[in-house]
């Protein structure tokens, strides 16, 4: 099994989940591996909708180019991998303040923008502590 960032990006090679797969007794396993131009796996995805191991299957399938995994097509997984490689910047700080241009500051060139509201709150707390200490 892979671990760390590699796993988050491209899934896992664990296969324990396969025994619980909703499609494991499907009479035509090939139906999950549609090939050729125009091939689509719409009908078999009905199985994925109620599958108890859908998440694990997708995790595994992110390393697979071919077939339907976790209810996703090859094209959909390519998109997921692309998105995971370049995650969108967060819209809110950890305290839930919106990271708008007015509410953010950049400490050093290239660093992740910080939350102005949090920074100000920290500064106020610092002032308060100083006042109490003196």
Binds ligand SF4 by CB under 6 A, chosen from 62, 68, 93, 99: 68
For 55-90, b where at least 16 C-beta lie within 10 A, e where not — what string? ebbbbbbbbeeebbbbbbbbeebeebeeeeeeeeee
How many Cα atoms occupy the beta-carbon half-sphere of 42 within 13 Å? 3
Distances (CA, A) of 111 to 71, 90, 114: 37, 14, 9
Of these, 11, 51, 62, 104, which contacts ligand SF4 (CB under 6 A)? Answer: 51
* 99 is a site residue for Zn ion (CB under 5 A): no
Q: Which of Zn ion, ligand SF4, none sits in contact with 116, Cβ below 5 to 8 A by type?
A: none
In whole angstroms, the minimum distance from the beta carbon of 124 to Zn ion comes to 13
Q: Which option in ligand SF4, Zn ion, none does residue 118 bind, with CB closer than 5 to 8 A by kind?
A: Zn ion
Nearer residue to Zn ion within complex by CB, 81 or 97: 97
Residue 57 or 62: the one with the smaller Cβ distance to ligand SF4 is 57
- In angstroms, the CA 116 to CA 96 distance is 12
By the rule CB under 6 A, 34 interacts with ligand SF4: no
Choices 44-52, 73-81, 86-94, 113-121; region in contact with ligand SF4 by CB under 6 A: 44-52
């Amino acid at each position: 099994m892979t671990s760390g960032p590699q796993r988050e990006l491209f899934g896992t090679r664990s296969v324990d989940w396969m025994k619980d797969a909703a499609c494991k007794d499907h009479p035509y396993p090939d139906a999950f591996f549609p090939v050729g131009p125009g091939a689509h796996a719409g009908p078999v995805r009905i199985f994925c909708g109620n599958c108890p191991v859908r998440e694990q299957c997708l995790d595994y399938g992110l390393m697979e180019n071919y077939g339907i995994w976790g209810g996703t097509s090859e094209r959909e997984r390519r998109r997921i991998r692309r998105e995971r490689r370049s995650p969108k910047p967060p819209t809110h700080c950890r305290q839930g303040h919106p990271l708008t241009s007015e509410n953010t500051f950049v400490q050093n060139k290239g660093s992740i923008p910080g939350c102005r509201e949090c920074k100000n709150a920290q500064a106020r707390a610092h002032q308060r502590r100083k006042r109490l200490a003196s």
